[in-house]
Amino acid sequence: MSQLAPITPSLGWHRFEHKNLEITVVDADGEPQTLTGIALSWKLLHHGTALITKTDQDGITLDTSDAVGAINDIAVIEIEETEYVYDEEDGTSEVPAGIYRHELWDTDSDVLLSYGDVHLLPGNAP
């Protein structure tokens, strides 16, 4: 079951900022789920086009420090300052401030785990 997890302006995510986004995946009863051993993929999307893509091989780690005897991994998506530029057919473009969509997928089973709107706030290039 996928869960709605918007990234709101209160999170304070600004363009060109190094940011660690934390996503906890829960089941239908609200219980945290283990992500250990699952291939993960995260995307920042604009009208279905991926502007930033992360995988468990490049930019997604698991934080199990809050587990305390329970099964609850937190997916940590690391966005570097330099990743706000993407390739287009006519060259490269910067990801502007605006509202986007994010998705976290279990790529082993092709299951959407988490999704929601993203409010990317203005920021200055490094």
CB-based contacts of 61: which residues, under 8 Å, 6+ apart? 75, 76, 78
- The pLDDT of residue 26: 84
Instruction: State pLDDT tens for residues 45-87.
Output: 999 999 999 999 999 998 877 655 555 688 999 999 988 886 6
What residue ranges define each of the domains in the chain, with the CATH number in brackets? Answer: 3-120 (2.60.40)
Question: Mean per-residue pLDDT for 100-125?
Answer: 94
Give the full edge-to-edge strand order of the sheet including 60-63.
Answer: 19-24, 74-79, 60-63
- Alpha carbon 59 to its chain's center: 10
Q: In a 10 Å sphere around its CB, with 0-12 CB exposed, 13-18 middle and 19+ buried, how is residue 25 labelled?
A: buried
Rounded Cα distance, 81 and 21, in Å: 14
* % of the chain exceeding 70 in pLDDT: 88
Position 5 pLDDT exceeds 70: yes
Question: Mean per-residue pLDDT for 8-23?
Answer: 93
- The pLDDT of residue 73: 80
DSSP assignment letter at 84: S
Contact indicator for 37, 29 with CB cutoff of 8 Å: no
Residue the block writes with tokens 């986004």: 21
Rounded Cα distance, 25 and 33, in Å: 6
Question: Mean per-residue pLDDT for 88-94?
Answer: 69
CB-based contacts of 39: which residues, under 8 Å, 6+ apart? 55, 56, 106, 107, 108
Q: Model pTM?
A: 0.87
Mean of per-residue pLDDT scores for the chain: 87
